[in-house]
Amino acid sequence: MDRREIVRRAVEFDRPPRLPFWQHWNHKMPEFPDDVCNIWEMDRAEAGWFFDKATMDDWSCGWSATDLANIGQVKDCPLESWSALDHYRPPNPRNPFYYDRLGPLLDAAADRYVAVTAHSLLFSRLHKLRGFTATMEDFYLEPERVRRVLDMIVDFKVQQCFELKRRFGDRIHGLFVTDDWGTQAGPFIGRNLFDEFFAPRYRIIFNAIHDCGWHVILHSCGRVNALVPSFLALGADVLNMQQSRSYGLVEFGEQFKGKVCFLATVDIQSTLPRGVESEIREEARLLARHWRTAEGGLVVFDYGAWEAVGVAPEAPRIMFDEFARLQADSV
């Protein structure tokens, strides 16, 4: 059975023969399975990567670099003043620049599952364009302008999907999209605002991804428990969960186990930074016990840029080793 099929079976609850492993940067841990080819090239701006130097991305958001390898911060928002909206134009979603580098990377994927990553799905792009504080106020003060910007983002994302499909078709298996929705206590906004502004637009994007024949892989940091039922109803196939202790590991898993596939790691905020081997192994066992079923529903995830979250190199190796000991039927 090829590696792509092992991942597909886990996502679709079709009894994979073992746990699949997503190594974020390929071959860092060659002693463990490497089942996913994750391609980030859709996020490369024509001016350069958004996270490694001060630059402007293709949406005209001005970025400032930080001292962490995988993080930047938007400092200049092109829609900081609403007077700019009438003249603002998003990037061209069919620009060959976004696609020309993908072919060789797809060739190198071999029999692995291919996930193409495109960050800043909807909410994240909205507040990068407008500014976070202003965005929170705009839901009440400028709802029509918010809708106008969101529809612009949706149109870009849908066209981006269809251009990927036109060029690469079934060589892609999942689209990894990101919207960070939570503080450590709960979502930034209530369900009423989410349902009004975001739910129908997520549905359009997720439907487009499914129409291309791909899985929807959604990342969202923070305690997003209250929004998870909406994510599932709207069509998310996989949830990338990195802060298991924030959600309440046992109760979260028991609430949603079997309803969605989890792309999960031992907690990157607490357990892994502490680096205690017994704690890492125990949490891996808890995730396997409470977040997967006999039919599947769990893919082991490697965050990758561990130095950015204060994790020593041996900690993810311990995590992978514990997951590798678990057989697919030992639930």
Q: What is the mean pLDDT of residues 234-238?
A: 98
Query: Is the predicted pLDDT of residue 297 greater than 60, yes or no?
Result: yes
List the domain boundaries for the chain. Answer: 3-325
8 A C-beta contact, residue 2 and residue 9:
no
With bands split at pLDDT 50, 70 and 90, how would you rate the model's confidence at 69? low
Q: What is the mean pLDDT of residues 152-175?
A: 98
Q: What is the pLDDT of residues 86-134, one digit of tens each?
A: 999 999 999 999 999 999 999 999 999 999 999 999 999 999 999 999 9
Q: What is the mean pLDDT of residues 306-315?
A: 87
Query: Is the predicted pLDDT of residue 52 greater than 70, yes or no?
Result: no
Q: What is the mean pLDDT of residues 279-299?
A: 96
**What is the C-alpha separation between 202 and 195, in angstroms, rounded?**
10
The domain 3-325 is placed in CATH, from the list 3.90.1170.50, 3.20.20.210, 3.20.20.70, 3.40.720.10, at 3.20.20.210
With bands split at pLDDT 50, 70 and 90, how would you rate the model's confidence at 304? confident
With bands split at pLDDT 50, 70 and 90, how would you rate the model's confidence at 27? low
Query: Is the predicted pLDDT of residue 303 greater than 70, yes or no?
Result: yes
The pLDDT value recorded for residue 172 is: 98
Query: Is the predicted pLDDT of residue 12 greater than 80, yes or no?
Result: yes
Positive or negative, the Cα torsion across 215, 28, 45, 111?
negative
Q: Which of these, 174, 188, 123, lies nearest to 301 by C-alpha position?
A: 174
Q: What is the mean pLDDT of residues 298-320?
A: 90
Q: What is the mean pLDDT of residues 252-273?
A: 95
The pLDDT value recorded for residue 331 is: 43
As a dihedral over the C-alpha atoms of residue 143, residue 145, residue 148, residue 150, rounded to 10 degrees, the angle is -70
The pLDDT value recorded for residue 307 is: 81
DSSP letters spanning 85-112: GGG-----TT-GGGTTTHHHHHHHTTTS
Whole-structure pTM value: 0.96
The pLDDT value recorded for residue 49 is: 76
With bands split at pLDDT 50, 70 and 90, how would you rate the model's confidence at 329? very low
**What is the C-alpha separation between 101 and 46, in angstroms, rounded?**
12
The pLDDT value recorded for residue 129 is: 98
The pLDDT value recorded for residue 50 is: 66
The pLDDT value recorded for residue 47 is: 81
What's the mean pLDDT when you consider all of the chain? 93
| Portion of the chain with pLDDT greater than 70, in percent | 94
Query: Is the predicted pLDDT of residue 206 greater than 80, yes or no?
Result: yes
Q: What is the pLDDT of residues 135-151, one digit of tens each?
A: 999 999 999 999 999 99
